[in-house]
Amino acid sequence: MDKKQIEEMIDLAIRQMDFSYVPYSHFRVGAALLAKNGEIYTGCNIENAAYTPTNCAERTAFFKAVSEGVKKFDAICVVGGKEGVLTEYTAPCGVCRQVMMEFCDPDTFQIIMAKNRQEYRIYLLKELLPAGFGPADLV
């Protein structure tokens, strides 16, 4: 990925925070998921009073893409912050990392955590989920 594409993903993820439904935590998260076909799918976090049905921004983006038949991905950008203010890097939770493991190659899938267009970090899925369990383990 080049810098321009990374910046585009960061901008899209930041805009998605506006759609977050977070009446309990007030912690807004946005995600932009780059599919291998070049399409970008976005997501925001959606909370629920029962907590367990809450859906993270990353999974929202993945589920949107998969529901449209897309199952191969290159990268995801994740941003978040209390009241929508980006102050720190926001890492995907364990459940989101497991969903990534289902659809992504841990050796090549990139996870971009950003504070803004200039401050971001890029990790491979295998760095954030070492010894992950995926479809290949069931063959």
Sequence-distant (≥ 6) Cβ neighbours of residue 3 within 8 angstroms: none
Active site positions, annotated: 58
Inter-CA distances, 20 with 54, 58, 89, 98, 126, Å: 11, 12, 17, 22, 28
